[in-house]
Amino acid sequence: MIKKVFDVYEGEEVLIYTVKSEYLEADILTFGATVHALRVKDKRGGFTDVALGYTKVSDHYDKGGYLGAIVGRVGNRIDKGRFSLNGKVYQVGINDGNNSLHGGIKGFDKKIWTVEYADERKIILSTFSPDGEEGYPAGLIVRVTYEITAEKGLKISYEGVADGDTVVSLTNHTYFNLNGEGKGDILSHKLFIQADEITPVDGELIPHGDFMKVENTPFDFRTPKLIGRDIEKDDPQLKNCGGYDVNFVLSGKGFRKVAEAEGNESGIKMSVYTDREGVQFYSGNFLNGERGKTSAHKKRGAFCLETQSFPNAVNCPEYPSVALKKGEKYKTTTEYRFSL
Ligand code: BGC
């Protein structure tokens, strides 16, 4: 394992750790437990970095976008940042118009995490979120393990336990370009998502307990198709977000393959395995020329497949619950596997 200083932000050192195998290398920051780079062995025998990132911590504040970060306490949007639990109403940080996005104003993506353990292939990071932080109830300890697996994967295991009842839904927000970060847009990537339905959203990108069949819509990725094939179709949800930005209801249960993408130039394939019920497919619509590691990030220059519970589930009894009882263990696993 390689460990270096990445940056100093407001007097605090942010470290960068590299975990790797012969096929895959991941650079992880203590800031946000962020995947800063993900280098995949390519067909030329070198490595292609498939993850977008910034060169300094202040860019994560100034340019935003949650690049590579762990997102929490609750990923995606909460309508008006309000919900009730055990009969009590909670108001969490508003940071996206009228709503709360990705944990609020200072979510887990902006914390400096503690490294509990690291070796050649694996790093374990943790953080404590006190009772009332960003308005959320109960103190919560979160542990995230990144591990390079024998299947040429980056496995992300999330664990948590709280000292009172709360709500939790963590995800990782890596932006992928399988042709290489900074190498044009992702419209010619092929994508498959094992989902018959999405949770359709309103004009502020909030779902309200509904389900919509993907059949005969631009959201049908059950047979692999190019991301760009239907992205400009005259569909209100696509028009509203400038492309794809919605939660897909994943078929099946347990740890299973739920999605696959392929870079048209590199031939690098990424298969997503998870035990979660949803995945946010976001086609990088709001990327807007921010300078990254090697180039400016173009609109649709990368995509995210954020495995998650359903957005706004805290307000929708129709969706699986994100409540976590006092002392109960939160545990979920996602793996991004690469092949050529
Ligand atoms: C959301 C987008 C948002 C992006 C970056 C995604 O998870 O669905 O709407 O712009 O994160 O914040």
- Give the DSSP letter string of 174-205: PPB-TT-TTSS-STT-EEEE-EEEEE-B-TTS
**pLDDT at residue number 60:** 98
Tell me how far the alpha carbon of residue 104 lies from the centroid of ligand 1, in angstroms.
13
Query: What is the SS3 assignment for 11?
Result: coil
**pLDDT at residue number 335:** 99
Token pair recorded at residue 116:
């509990």
Indicate the burial class of 295 (C-beta count within 10 angstroms; 0-12, 13-18, 19 or more). middle
Q: Is 219 in the pocket of ligand 1 (CB under 6 A)?
A: no
DSSP string, 106-172: T-GGGSBPEEEEE-SSEEEEEEEE-TTGGG-SS-EEEEEEEEE-TTSEEEEEEEEEESS-EE-B-EE
Active site residue 306: yes
Cα–chain-centroid distance for residue 289?
20
Q: Cα–Cα distance between 274 and 2 in angstroms, integer? A: 28
Residue whose CA lies nearest to ligand 1 atom number 8: 245
Give how many domains the chain has, as a whole number: 1
The CATH number given to whatever domain includes residue 291 is: 2.70.98.10
Could you tell me the pTM of the whole model?
0.98
Q: Is 27 in the pocket of ligand 1 (CB under 6 A)?
A: no
Residue whose CA lies nearest to ligand 1 atom number 6: 282
Q: Cα–Cα distance between 7 and 53 in angstroms, integer? A: 14
CB-based contact 324:168 (threshold 8 Å): yes
Give the HSE-up count for residue 199: Cα atoms under 13 Å, Cβ half-sphere.
Answer: 26
Going from the first residue of the chain to its last (340 residues), give the mean pLDDT of each consecutive group of 10, the final group possibly shorter. Answer: 94 98 98 98 98 98 98 98 98 98 98 98 98 98 98 98 98 98 96 98 98 98 98 97 98 98 98 98 97 96 98 98 98 98
Tell me how far the alpha carbon of residue 102 lies from the centroid of ligand 1, in angstroms.
8
Q: Which amino acid appears at position 112 of this protein?
A: I
**Distances from the Cα of 287 to the Cαs of 63, 83, 93, 175, 330, in angstroms?**
9, 30, 23, 10, 32
Annotated catalytic residue within 36, 60, 102, 173:
173
- Which atom of ligand 1 lies nearest, measured to the CA of 64? 12
Residues making up the chain, counted from first to last? 340
**pLDDT at residue number 304:** 98
- Which atom of ligand 1 lies nearest, measured to the CA of 101? 12
Q: Cα–Cα distance between 335 and 7 in angstroms, integer? A: 28
**Which of 77, 102, 248 for mutating ligand 1's site (highest number of atoms within 8 Å of CB)?**
102
Tell me how far the alpha carbon of residue 17 lies from the centroid of ligand 1, in angstroms.
26
Q: Cα–Cα distance between 185 and 299 in angstroms, integer? A: 7
Q: Is 245 in the pocket of ligand 1 (CB under 6 A)?
A: yes
Active site residue 197: no
Q: Is 280 in the pocket of ligand 1 (CB under 6 A)?
A: yes
Tell me how far the alpha carbon of residue 304 lies from the centroid of ligand 1, in angstroms.
9
Q: Is 283 in the pocket of ligand 1 (CB under 6 A)?
A: no
Tell me how far the alpha carbon of residue 96 lies from the centroid of ligand 1, in angstroms.
10
CB-based contact 311:77 (threshold 8 Å): yes
Q: Is 66 in the pocket of ligand 1 (CB under 6 A)?
A: yes
**pLDDT at residue number 1:** 79
Query: Which residue(s) pair with 191 in the sheet?
Result: 225, 261
Q: Cα–Cα distance between 211 and 213 in angstroms, integer? A: 7
Q: Is 301 in the pocket of ligand 1 (CB under 6 A)?
A: no
Q: Which domain holds residue 303?
A: 2-339
Contacts of 58 (CB under 8 A, 6+ apart): 9
